[in-house]
Chains A and B, each alone.
Chain A
Amino acid sequence: MNTQPQALPGTPTAAMLRTLGGVATLSGLLVVLAFKLTLPRIEENQRRATERAIFQVLPQAVAQRAFTLTPQGLQRARPGLAGEVIYAAYDAAGVLQGLALPGAAQGYADLIKVLYAYRPDCACISGVKVLKMAETPGIGDRVSTDAEFQNNFQALDARLNAAEDGLAHPIVAVKHGSKSEPWQIDAISGATISSRGMAKALNASAGRLLPQVQRQLAELQAAGQETLATPGKAPNDRSGG
């Protein structure tokens, strides 16, 4: 403000600084207050939304635990740990039922974010839930509501190749009605780009995560009993879905 030559007389810089400084300080205090007050509720909401999605794609599971895939290997998820978070889901006996893995790819309007279930026993994808998307209502958004399209994900082939460093067959979306292989996704007619987005999300994520997951299966399985025994992670919150 000092550089302004035509500063009006009678309004000292000090007054402007005082007002702006005061208002900014007040603003900072209010924002921090609101953040602190709402943080526990927001975290709880996020945890519940994730848990609901996990149990939706793996309905046979009763307990889940989050892990982080780090370059050093599998670690218990904790705040601040860099890496992709995956969820292992267990039944009442502590047997690993499957994994809930995150995926994302560009759809028609914006990124489509999904959580999908991978079952090691059949090496297949057994369910997909769209977490976030902006696809056209009534057209592209049918990827999350269309029952016929969802049937693609009852047992979508996601076997690893011989070297165990990628998928044996890439997951692809094919024209409506022309699905012939178990790793293909029968696209929704009229929503091809959204369907392809789903396929791309699954293909990229499975190709990247499944080789790592495969190597850690024993550890993931071993964590099952412990997860059931841990209080607080009790299999209670299964509302909704």
Chain B
Amino acid sequence: MLPNQQEQVTLDTFLRGLWEENPVFVMVLGMCPTLAVTNSTLNALAMGLATTFVLVASGALVSLLRKVIPKQVRIATYIIIIATFVTMVDYGIQAISLDLYNALGAFIALIVVNCVILGRAEAYASKQRVGASVINALGMGGGFTFALLCLGTVRELLGKGTILGLHILPAGFQPWVVMILPPGGFFVLGGWLLLFSWLRQRKARNARKTVAAQGVPAHGR
């Protein structure tokens, strides 16, 4: 996509965030909640959904106001908008479940400084129409939630032998406690990043092979 150009809303507007520009696995943004609150599937899901709500709501409002926000104060304005929705999410989670609120702790308030959100506001919502911004934010939020779930399920499964509190592994399994501790976050993230970049490389190699097979000279290998 070229900068400063109105994008046509297509399926790709949504899907990009899920896969091609996945905020965690491709752009490696928003690492703080990714590592900190993925010690259980439920926490990962809650954090993903909370971030998605903030992404969509702030994306819509930034896009709506994009023509009246002077360039000099745009970051300050985005932060106010994002902080507003984060505060609303904070109250919302307290109303839904105090246990969940205690488990997520300070990381709900820290959604404000999640670079995925500010990045979307600056790079996308401030230039695009409301519809495109909302769809793109939904995709990014979906991709973020997906990535957090990837980490959360693996960490909970290995660290406690459960998924969403249900016992999956046999009773004799000795939980790898390190997986639900901070180092486990790095191990699992590293594993997923390895897998995804291997998949990307393989895809690129296959694409090159296809091009070569069709007789078009490929770039040097």
Contact = CB atoms under 8 A, between A and B. Distances in A.
A34 B91 contact: yes
A31 B77 contact: no
B84 A19 contact: no
B72 interface: yes
Interface residues of A, number: 27
A16 B102 CA distance: 38
Contact residues of B: prevailing secondary structure:
helix
Contacts of B65: 19, 23
B81 A27 contact: yes
Interface string B66-105: 0011111100110011011101100110110110001000
Given A16-B73, A20-B73, A45 B80 contact: no
Contacts, number: 69
A229 B98 CA distance: 30
Contacts of B73: 16, 19-20
Given A34-B87, A137-B180, 16 more contacts: A15-B70, A16-B70, A19-B69, A19-B70, A20-B77, A23-B65, A23-B80, A23-B81, A27-B80, A34-B92, A41-B94, A41-B95, A42-B95, A46-B98, A136-B181, A137-B181
Interface of B: 39, 65, 68-73, 76-77, 80-81, 83-85, 87-88, 91-92, 94-95, 97-98, 102, 159, 175, 177, 180-181
Interface of A: 8, 11, 15-16, 18-20, 23-24, 26-27, 30-31, 34-35, 37-38, 41-42, 45-46, 49, 132, 136-139
